Chain A
Amino acid sequence: MTGEPILSVRDLTVQFDSGDGWRSVVEDVSFTLNKGEVLGIVGESGSGKTVTSRALIRLLPDRVSRIAGGCVDFEGRDVIAMSESALEDIRGGKIGMIFQNPTTHLDPVMRIGQQIAAGLMLHLGLRSRAARARTIELLDEVGFRDPERQVDAFPHELSGGMRQRAMIAGALSCNPSILIADEPTTALDVTVQAQIIELLRTLGRQRGLSIIFISHDLGLVADFCQRMVVMERGRIVEAGAVDDVIARPQHPYTIRLLHSQPGLTAPGSYFDLDGETKSRNETRPAPQGDATYLAIDRLAVAFSRKRSLGEILTRKPVRDLAAVDGVSLNLTRGEALGLVGESGSGKSTLARSVVGLVTPKSGEIQLDGKSLGKPGERQRGPWHRQIQMIFQDPVSSLNPKMTVGETLAEPLSVHRLCPPADVKDRVLGLMTEVGLEHDLLNRKPHQLSGGQCQRVGIARALSVEPEFLIADEPTSALDVTIQAQIINLLMRLRESRGLTMLFISHDLTVVRHLCQRIAVMQHGRLVETGSAEEIFDNPRQDYTRKLLAAIPRVARAR
């Protein structure tokens, strides 16, 4: 199905001004895109995949970056050497591009129709009336239900998925032969992601498009692309047909990337990373008895909005936002429960009300048979030693002004958990336990990597010797290889400390890897609860099935 090359990149090198000289961010990158194919570029943060995609149509910032070498051959001409005006014809006219975040990449004060029509008027010379008519056709093509009306909508009036569709309509408006898609689904929920991928697949086939698909998600690339290149630290380390690369990876980095995929390693076993423990099966501790440890009973949380004078006078109905709507959930001691849901499902709010960061409207939470009461009444109590939490954004969960040592010593001295003389030893012990080098003791968060920050967050939670750990999307801000390390760490800690755990994630495969039981939430309600096997092999609810269907093929392999 692939034809002759349409775009070929040779020895592309891009440099950025690092403050003391030019530093190469992309080095000697070469690949070709064939007519009608979907080419994936996979890499983690800092791999240079996005910079590469921008360099193809010279979208990089002036003065702080430069293309230091190489050429991009398109239709017999070198894009790199092209004049500014020739480039403007190609951008949008011959090569379309869509971006990661449709919310920030559409002009908020301009109607979407006008934004799409601007390209039509510029490249195809359409008059405004004709451009509007064509825009409506395009919106229809990308799946708008009422394009005649929605053509006049402002971006904020559309959902994230619809915004991305509008962006696709704009990119394809002038019938380009190539579409560059830079992480087009990363900012979207998994079910919406599946729809957008399906749309791209259909449009690509109908229009005979050649697509360059940039993503951090190996599974998604494997699903959608025919060929792929793997990038690491500015260089291409591996390239080839998707099936070949996945079945027979050659480069150590590709192997590590594959070994880090939750769906490709058997649930409950350690990820096989360099220097990490070899994989074992069934390492998880068995639940200790059936006694209920945490009982959440008909919990409801609502975020009430203050009514403005205008709303009172105009009698505008104001609905309280129900974040959690009557959820009952039990955890037995020693078990790991996975809580899955998309954005706005209320999963984080549920977790926050268990630790007292959010005040529930009604319902009760019992820990080990004792009611936790209202958050106001439990400012300080023994439960702080029992429940701890780790957070989604590892960097912002640490006080930027405090060193690692100070952060870890603080709970020990506040709760007088050990004599002052022993604090330092205990801190170093905690650091060892979570795999942090001791020479990081005096670093501040901005001097650490994301993964290191998350390890500090975990160590801080462990410092008070909790029985119960709530992890709120602890890996979703991290690269997949780092995610694998953190999950390995959490599994090891559960084993050594016998922790009970509530693990919250939007990613079913991650939850499946770590948890025996899974609860699915949607719109503040609990949709389905069951053992991991039941949920995966025999889902009872439509929504669960939808979530499962959105998991890329590779990740579902096992």
Chain B
Amino acid sequence: MSATAPGDSGRSGVIGLPASLLVGGAIIAMWVLLALFADLVAPYSPIAQDVPSALQPPSLDHLLGTDNYGRDILSRIIFGARIDLQIGLFGVLFPFLIGNIIGLVAGYFGGLIDTVLMRILEVTIAFPFFVLVIAIISILGPGLISLYIALALVGWVSYARLTRSQVLILKNSDFVGAARVLGYGNGRIMLRHLLPNVISTSVVFAMTDMVLVILLGASLSYLGLGAQPPAAEWGVMIAEGQQFLSTAWWVCLFPGLAIVLLALGLSMAADGLAHVLGTKE
């Protein structure tokens, strides 16, 4: 890995990592730092109302303007990163764990477990993902906990399907055959031989999935089903700003750009990661 290759713009010469991974990673790191140190970084409180200075356009006092309660939009975006990153993390973590375990076991052993899994899978994908999630939230009541439960109930299916399909191919491969002929136990074959070979695809998928989950969380919050006002969540902010669209464009615009920037970082990192994991092993 050395100099930049002609015609391959995705590779950086710095430390042999793709440029997309470096840029994406930097964007993610920026958001994580902002979220961790929001109290120090944000110029104002995210919830303090200041009605006299409501709906002010961007200025030196309020770099991104203020909303209808006079709250500083920049500060709300910085604090909002806490909620949106949390949505991305927990919204992916549980489906990732559940789905990979089930996919690995069902793919390896086949039989009844696998048949049951496939039935559940067929039924789940017969519902539009988004519709099923909000249907579950409607039962559990709006809020982020309901969102995590709904995602854990529905989201694991994609991971299980992905891992299962890879396990099905790999379990017939010669190196697994060799492991069986050498008399290794099922646990060893699954954990030592199959898992390391299927997990990287799952991790890359999780990165892309995180983008979708963050968008989903923001959309639900926008609809009033996710984070609840006055929480400084980006989707909530956009929903609150929509009524002032014709007079105060900044209220809606900047929270949306925040989502786009975070999502861009994640999808660039996912691209780069796929590149690294795909070629190096």
Contacts and interface: CB of A to CB of B under 8 A. Distances in A.
Contacts, number: 75
Interface string A397-413: 11111000000001100
A381 B181 CA distance: 11
B175 A397 contact: yes
B52 interface: no
Contact of B7 (A64, A384, A457): A64
A450 to B, nearest CB: 13
A60 to B, nearest CB: 15
A391 interface: yes
Interface in A410-457: 410-411, 414-415, 444, 446, 457
Contacts of A388: 181-182
A356 B6 contact: no
A401 B177 contact: no
Interface string B164-191: 0000000001110111111111001000
A380 interface: yes
A199 interface: no
Given A401-B197, A414-B188, A20 B181 contact: no
Nearest to A399: B175
A461 B179 CA distance: 10
A379 B8 CA distance: 49
Given A391-B178, A397-B174, A397-B175, A384 B183 contact: yes
Contact of A17 (B6, B183, B193): B6
Interface residues of B, number: 24
B267 to A, nearest CB: 25
A381 B179 CA distance: 14
Nearest to A393: B174
A357 B176 CA distance: 10
B42 to A, nearest CB: 44
A398 B170 CA distance: 12
B246 interface: no
A411 B177 contact: no
B113 interface: no
A35 B270 CA distance: 57
Instruction: Indicate the member of B8, B184, B196 with the most A CB atoms within 10 Å.
Output: B184
A19 B5 contact: yes
Contacts of B180: 355-357
Nearest to B5: A19
Contacts of A380: 183, 185
A401 B281 contact: yes
Contacts of B188: 414
Contacts of B6: 17
B139 interface: no
B197 A399 contact: yes
Contacts of B178: 389, 391, 397-398, 457, 460-461
The dominant DSSP class at the A interface is: loop
B13 to A, nearest CB: 10
Given A20-B3, A20-B5, A400 B197 contact: yes
B9 interface: no
A398 B281 CA distance: 12
Contacts of A20: 2-3, 5
A410 B192 CA distance: 10
A379 B180 CA distance: 8
A447 to B, nearest CB: 10
B36 to A, nearest CB: 34
A444 B281 CA distance: 8
Contacts of A461: 178
Interface in A53-106: 63-64
Contacts of A356: 180-181
A464 interface: yes
Contacts of B173: 396
Contacts of B182: 384, 388, 410-411, 414, 460, 464
Contact of B281 (A63, A414, A446): A446
Given A19-B5, A64-B7, A414-B188, A399 B181 contact: no
Contact of B175 (A379, A385, A392, A398): A398
Instruction: Indicate the member of B8, B174, B185 with the most A CB atoms within 10 Å.
Output: B174
Contact of A399 (B5, B8, B193): B193
Nearest to A384: B183
A388 B178 CA distance: 8
B8 to A, nearest CB: 7
A504 to B, nearest CB: 14
A348 to B, nearest CB: 11
Given A396-B175, A414-B188, A355 B181 contact: yes
Interface string B6-34: 11100000000000000000000000000
A379 B179 CA distance: 11
Nearest to B194: A399
Interface string A468-482: 000000000000000
Interface string A258-299: 000000000000000000000000000000000000000000
Interface string B43-59: 00000000000000000
B5 A17 contact: yes
Interface in A368-398: 379-381, 384-385, 387-389, 391-393, 396-398
A545 B184 CA distance: 43
Instruction: Indicate the member of B5, B177, B193, B281 with the most A CB atoms within 10 Å.
Output: B177
Interface of B: 2-3, 5-8, 173-175, 177-185, 188, 192-193, 196-197, 281
Given A385-B183, A388-B181, 11 more contacts: A20-B2, A63-B7, A352-B177, A355-B180, A380-B185, A381-B183, A384-B183, A389-B177, A397-B177, A399-B175, A399-B197
17 contacts: A17-B7, A19-B8, A356-B181, A380-B185, A384-B183, A385-B183, A388-B181, A391-B174, A397-B177, A399-B175, A399-B179, A399-B193, A414-B184, A415-B183, A446-B281, A457-B178, A461-B178
Nearest first, the 6 A-B pairs at minimum CB distance are A384-B183, A397-B174, A391-B174, A401-B196, A19-B5, A399-B175
